[in-house]
Every structure is written in C-alpha cells, then in structure tokens.
Amino acid sequence: MKSRNRILDTVQTPALLVGLVLLVALAGATGDVTTARVATLALVSVVFVVGLSVFSGNSGVMSFGHVMFMAAGAYTTAYLTIPVPLKKTLFADLPGWLSWLAEVHSSFPVALLAGGLVAAVVGLVTAPVVARLSGLQSGIATLAMLLITYNVLNSWTEVTRGSSSMIGIPRGTTTWWAFGVAAAAVVVAWLYRCSRGGLQLRASREDFWAAQASGIAVGRHRATAWVLSALVCGLAGALYAGYLTSFNVNGFFLTATFSFVVMIVLGGYLSLSGAVVGALAVSALQEVLRRFQDGRFTGGNELPAGVADLIVAAVLLVVLVKAPYGLMGVRELRLPRRRRGGGAERRSEAPAKEPVGAA
Amino acid sequence: MTAAAQLPRRSSVLRMADGGIHFDGVKAVDGVSIEVRSGEVLGLIGPNGSGKTSTLNLLSGMLRATSGTIWLDDVDLTRHSMRRRARRGVVRTFQSGRVFGRLTVRENVEAAALGAGLRRREARELTEEILDELALDGVADDRAERLTAGRVRTTAIARALAARPRFLLLDEPAAGQNETEAVELITAIRGFAQRRECGVLLVEHDMSVVMGTCDRLHVLDSGRTVIEGEPAAVRSDPQVIEIYFGKRH
C-alpha cells in the first residue's frame, strides 16, 4: 500500500499537467482558426517554460538566456525543412564549409529532434559557465550569452540572413504536435525533478553551502540541468518555426525573454505546475490584451501601442509583491487529499513519539 | 545488508597541524593543532570569539587555512574544497541548521545520502534508518522550513549522518534546547558515532552537555590552544577556570 501511494504521489502531478495541456489542445483542435493559433502558441510556450524550469526551477538560478536555445532550434528547423531550391536562393552566399546547409533536407519530425539536439550542444558548450557561477553573476552571464547569440545571428548575414526574415519553412507544427511535445516535456521535466540529480540540485537551490557540505556536486548537477533544459527549449524553437513558417532574429531577444520570464515568475518558478500554469495564464492574458488593444472589446477604439505590455508588466509587479514565488509557490497540482477518521489531518496520524532533541 | 551497515569502519584520524586563519590582520585561529580519532567525541570549547567555529570551518573546508595543514590519515586535505572533504567523510553541521527549507525532511536526508554517492535504493534505506533512529519519521513528509527549531537541528544532524561521515563536525547542535533534550541529542549522536566508528568534533557552549558526552576536550582562547585533555583534567586546570569556568562560578 505504501509503495502504491508513493507511485500515485509521483504520477499524479505530471498526469494532471498533461491533462491540462490536453484541454488546451482540444480547445485548439476543435475551435476556429484563431483559437487554434492561440492554443498552439500557448502549447509552444508551455514547452519553452517547462524547459526553462528544468534549470531555473531546480537550481534556483534564473536564466535570461534561454531564448538562445529556442533560436538554435528554430534556425535548425529552418535549415532542415526549407525546400532546397528556395534555400539556394536565400543562402546564395553561404561560406564553402557550410555549403552543405543548402543541400540538406529532412522531414519536420527529424528537424524537430535535430533542433532539440543542436540546442543541447549549445547548452553543452555553455554549461561550464553556469556550472561555475551562482546568483546574480549567473543571471548576468546568461544574459551575456543571449547578447552574443543575438549579435551572431544578426550579423552573420550569409548564414542567418541577419535581420531579414527566415521564410519558406513548411508548416510542420500542428496543435497535436505541440501537445505531444508539451506532454513529453512535462514528463521529462518531472522525471528529472524526481531523479537523484534533480533532488540534489533542488537541495543546492535551498542552500548552496549545506549542499556542498553534504558532498553534492552542485556545478555538475547545474550543468546537467542546463543541457537538458536547452534540449527542451530547442524543441520549443523548432515547434515555433514550424508553426509560424517564418521568423526574424528579433523574435529571439529581449521581448521574448521578458515574456517567458513573466510566465515562469507569475506561475511560480519553483514548481513545474507553476511553469505550466504560468505559460497558459500569460498566453491567455496576452491574447485578451491583444484583442483589447486591437479594439475588439472596445467598439473598435484601439488602445495606444504598448498598453498590453504595460498591463502584463503591472500584473507581474503585483504578483511579485503579493506572491513572490508566483501563483503556485512551491506547490504542485495534486488531487485533493482523502481525509480519514472524520477529517483528521494526516499530520495527526504520525507516530506520537517525539523527535530526539525536539524543542 | 543495509546501507548503513556498509559504512566505512576503519580507524582514522582527522588532524590539523599548526592551522591558522587571519581576517584583515585579526588572528581568528593561530597555530592550533588538533586531532580527532575514530569513535571518540572531542569537545572544542572556549569563550565567545575564541575561534571554535573558525577551527571547525578550517577542518570542514568552508575556510581555507592561511597557515598549517589538515590531514585525514595520510591524505592532505588542506587544498580540498568542502565538497571533496565531505566525499572523503569529513561532514559538518552549521550553527543555524541550514536545512534545505523547501524540501521535506526525508528529501533533506536522502539528498545527502545521494551526495555521498549512494545508489537511490541504498540512499532510501539509509534515509529511513536515520529518520527512525532520530525519531524524525513522524515529520518525514513535512517541509523542513515548517519544523520547530529543535527539529531543524535534528534534521541537520540526520542529513550529516546520511552523508556517511567518518568525522562529524557539529557546530552547537544543542543550541536552543533544554539540558535534557540536549543530552538526549548528543547521546544519540554518540551512539550513532560509536556504532559506525565515526569521530565527532563537538563545538558547544553548554558545559554540562560537553562534560557529559565528550571523551576529550580541547580548549581555545583568542584563537590559541589553552589545554587539551580528559574532561576532569580540563575542568580542574587553573587557566581554564580563569578564562572559561571562572565566568560561571
């Protein structure tokens, strides 16, 4: 019975979260075009924020650079799925050692996997930095990585098209693809969280020095989470490219970073449920605000540009003040606990013996 | 065979030779030589500011010595990080407990067992054993941040035990507890240490706790060693009475 309860305890949170994203997918699959777009992009956001939470949620180190992994996934998908004739036109000036990029072609599922893997390689290269830094320094370092990535993508015109849009990507992402990847991301993130590495990383999040004193290799666990996190965010980038069919380097910079940080902070960066709830809640909020701004709820009177962003920022400020750990705090979505013996609390069922040294 | 039964059993010595650390010219620890042996409880005592915690920090690797060397048997630990020392079996607790607040008590202990390199199943076995031994099983699923001060300290000790110490460095584990609770706690630690042939260095203010549980005492004052010996001899030493006990009588 004890092991059955432990399994139920372990399984219920990812099951509930997958159920939640399934509801969003069903809404997208059965709704009109606008609903499908909103639902699919919300699911892509879920993938990204879940990926971000694999690192930030378990390590307690906020990253402002994860959008670079999304960019890696998106560009990889573009290179692999844009039809070869179009690529030869778009990338006519590719350097010789990269000329194979114009010839290579794959299906969307392969591109999706490749997007994740390329992002994981970027994660592997950058992991030594996050393994060595903590706190504010680590956050600033991740921002520096984003700046480097953005500038490379923006300046290396022959390969990345610079500030011009990457176009001609076939639409591979459907609502169900987005759901499948989001569900897989939730399961992988949960498995990592419960793994021996995940537990040790969460311990280091709570107290770095106490973790060191317990023999925990904090740097190694941070690096592992960083790479896994990069892989998931790369998948989000591949889905993003495969849904929008065109994108611009500016889509992978500060605006996107802010949007995703709002999602994870508002939901609660310490819990996986917070990541999912935050991604869905902010996606819905952004859509409602977009419609307000377009005048659809105000009789055609458009609101001044930027009002939607102002409101999102204001919501974030309120949440940070009222609930610093977000809507979910450290809680996970769980089924209501069954109470025994006329509603006696579980705590009262604990053995009566006093812990040694209890005050 | 349980995970705890597989703990190291060989006799060892943890020693600091002529160790010192200076902060901006202030000698917090100055030429202290100290030695803890497997299976014994060594009390490190002295008035406030005498360098007890700094000595513990030097031994555990939280501070790097500005002079002297630290050895675990024939291994020079002087340049080893706190984590590397912990992996070699030199494990410490902190004055303030420093538990992993938002993890449950069980997770606190299991994380340390995993940090010591145990497999998951072994770590779980050892965790349950320690929780039971320190009577924490009733609060095992409670988050550590919600515990009373006494249970926080007990959780910190449980975590240290899960790290499979060959030497356990305890920084005021009985602070905030009454004498009975404190003696009960130290007796439990002593029993645990003896069963595993683990050496204990106990930094403690409460002299009744120290006198009742330690095999030997090492007295510090102003960062220097005053005397080292058996509790009875230390208690009757005129210098100790003057600098330490004198304040109580």
Q: Where are the domains of chain B?
A: 12-89+165-249, 101-164
Q: Which of B133, B147, B151 to mutate to test the interface with A (most CBs of A within 10 A)?
A: B151
Short-list B76, B112, B142, CA closest to B3: B112
Task: Name the one residue in this structure whose structure tokens are 């509790």.
Answer: B231
Residue A63 has pLDDT above 80, yes or no: yes
Return d(Cα B78, Cα B31) in angstroms, integer: 14
Q: Summarize the confidence of residues A4-20 as an average pLDDT.
A: 87
Return d(Cα A70, Cα A251) in angstroms, integer: 10
Comparing alpha-carbon positions, the chain A residue that sits nearest to B144 is A206
What is the greatest pairwise CA distance in chain B? 53
Who has greater pLDDT, A70 or B248? Answer: A70
| Partner A contacted by B87 (CB < 8 A) | yes
Q: A15 burial class (0-12, 13-18, 19+ CB within 10 angstroms)?
A: middle
Short-list B19, B9, B161, B27, CA closest to B77: B19
Q: Is B229 helix (H, G, I), strand (E, B) or coil?
A: strand
Query: Residue B82 and residue A212: Cβ atoms within 8 Å?
Result: yes
User: Where are the strands (E) in B77-146, listed by range?
Assistant: 90-92
Instruction: Give the lowest-confidence range in A150-159, A286-295, A333-342, B126-135.
Output: A333-342
| Partner B contacted by A27 (CB < 8 A) | no
pLDDT of residue B204: 85
What does the block give as tokens for A33? 């075009």
Q: Model confidence over A238-268: pLDDT tens digits?
A: 999 999 999 999 999 999 999 999 999 999 9
Comparing alpha-carbon positions, the chain B residue that sits nearest to A271 is B102
| Partner A contacted by B62 (CB < 8 A) | yes
* pLDDT tens series, chain B, 249 aa: 444 444 445 689 999 999 999 988 889 999 999 999 998 999 999 988 899 999 999 999 999 999 999 999 999 999 999 999 999 999 999 988 899 999 999 999 999 999 999 999 999 999 999 999 888 999 999 999 999 888 898 899 999 999 999 999 999 888 777 777 777 777 777 787 778 889 999 998 777 778 878 999 999 999 999 999 999 999 888 988 887 655 544
Query: Residue A202 and residue B62: Cβ atoms within 8 Å?
Result: no
The dihedral region occupied by B204, where left means phi > 0, alpha psi between -120 and 50, and beta the remainder, is: beta
Distances (CA, A) of B135 to A73, A81, A323, B131, B191: 51, 61, 34, 6, 14
pLDDT of residue A176: 97
CB A324 within 8 Å of CB A8? no
Query: Residue A215 and residue B83: Cβ atoms within 8 Å?
Result: yes
First to last CA, chain B: 51
Instruction: Give the lowest-confidence range in A44-48, A112-116, A335-339, B18-22.
Output: A335-339
Q: Which of B87, B98, B119 to mutate to test the interface with A (most CBs of A within 10 A)?
A: B98
Report the residue from B86, B143, B156 with minimal CB separation from A215.
B86
Residues of A in contact with B166 (CB under 8 A): none
Residue A31 has pLDDT above 70, yes or no: yes
Report the residue from B116, B123, B138 with minimal CB separation from A353.
B138
pLDDT of residue A342: 42
Q: Summarize the confidence of residues A44-59 as an average pLDDT.
A: 97
Q: Model confidence over A216-230: pLDDT tens digits?
A: 999 999 999 999 999
Query: Residue A213 and residue B82: Cβ atoms within 8 Å?
Result: yes
Average pLDDT over all residues of chain A: 91
Residues of B in contact with A211 (CB under 8 A): 100, 111, 115
Who has greater pLDDT, B195 or A274? Answer: A274
Fold of B12-89+165-249: Rossmann fold (3.40.50)
Q: Summarize the confidence of residues A63-72 as an average pLDDT.
A: 97
Comparing alpha-carbon positions, the chain A residue that sits nearest to B132 is A355
| Beta strands B26-37; B75-76: pairing state | unpaired
Comparing alpha-carbon positions, the chain B residue that sits nearest to A201 is B111
Neighbours of A343 (CB within 10 A): 6
Q: Summarize the confidence of residues A316-340 as an average pLDDT.
A: 86
Comparing alpha-carbon positions, the chain A residue that sits nearest to B182 is A357
Instruction: Give the lowest-confidence range in A43-52, A235-244, A310-319, B84-93.
Output: A310-319
Comparing alpha-carbon positions, the chain B residue that sits nearest to A325 is B102
**Alpha helices (H) in B51-92, listed in sequence order:** 52-60, 82-87
Query: Residue B21 pairs with which residues in a beta bridge?
Result: B29
Q: Is B76 helix (H, G, I), strand (E, B) or coil?
A: strand
Return d(Cα B194, Cα B57) in angstroms, integer: 24
Query: Residue A357 and residue B184: Cβ atoms within 8 Å?
Result: yes
Query: Residue A207 and residue B82: Cβ atoms within 8 Å?
Result: no
Hey, what amino acid is at A190?
Answer: W
pTM: 0.90
pLDDT of residue B210: 85
Short-list B107, B181, B191, CA closest to B143: B107
pLDDT of residue A12: 94
| Partner A contacted by B73 (CB < 8 A) | no
Q: Shortest Cα distance from B218 to chain A (angstroms)?
A: 24
| Partner B contacted by A336 (CB < 8 A) | no
Report ipTM (2 d.p.). Answer: 0.89
CB A236 within 8 Å of CB A252? no
Q: Summarize the confidence of residues A287-300 as an average pLDDT.
A: 83
A 145-184: CB under 8 A from B: none
